[in-house]
A = this chain, B = another copy of it.
Amino acid sequence: MAAPEIEKLVTLLARLPGLGPRSARRAALTLLRRREALMLPLADALAKAAAEVKSCTICGNLDARDPCGVCADERRDPAQLCVVEQVADLWAMERAGAFRGRYHVLGGTLSALDGIGPDELGIPKLAARVAEGGVTEVVMALPATVDGQTTAHYIADRLAEAAPEANITRLAHGMPVGGALDYMDDGTIQAALKARRPV
């Protein structure tokens, strides 16, 4: 109905997470209204990022450099390694600013249903990286879901064999800061009570 150039743009925009067909149309119209300020810069930014950004061969982070900025940063503690599921999780950890070691991005969690096994996640590569030595702690920062925790346990077992000297830890479970008890699920309350600490 609209010009094929517009329809094509709407179809592609609708494939972004968070945009449905209707919001993709709205986005396309906004872009067409702001060609110089938004549409052409976005086209450039997409082409440039597609050409420049690559996966870090050490940790799996996305960066224009390889090794990535985190792996190349000499001020970071090479003795601490944080295992995350996705690059977005690495970014979340960095935003929190509490971890000063290095990362390992799995790219997913173990899932028999989806045919994702240890090799698909590069777990042998992670084990080899830790076995090389110099890592004293591996922090599992995987999602607090069944798949995430299964994956964490599997990795902990593998690392206990491959690098018995490294401590394996995981993020604490408990109340989110700012959370109201009334809105917590039972599992969170149980975990928070079990891990209670002296005030």
A interface vs B, CB < 8 Å?
1-6, 8-9, 12-13, 15-19, 23, 25-32, 35, 38-50, 52-53, 62-65, 69, 86-88, 91, 94-95
Contacts A32-B49, A52-B3, A62-B3; A91 near B25 (Cβ below 8 A): yes
A137 to chain B, nearest CB (A): 23
- By the criterion CB–CB under 8 Å, are A3 and B65 in contact? yes
- By the criterion CB–CB under 8 Å, are B87 and A9 in contact? no
**Assembly of this chain: how many copies?**
2
- By the criterion CB–CB under 8 Å, are A46 and B52 in contact? no
Q: How far is the CA of A38 from the CA of B25 in the complex (A)?
A: 17
Q: How far is the CA of A44 from the CA of B40 in the complex (A)?
A: 10
- By the criterion CB–CB under 8 Å, are B29 and A86 in contact? yes
- By the criterion CB–CB under 8 Å, are A39 and B50 in contact? yes
Across the interface, A39 reaches (CB within 8 A) one of B6, B46, B91, namely: B46
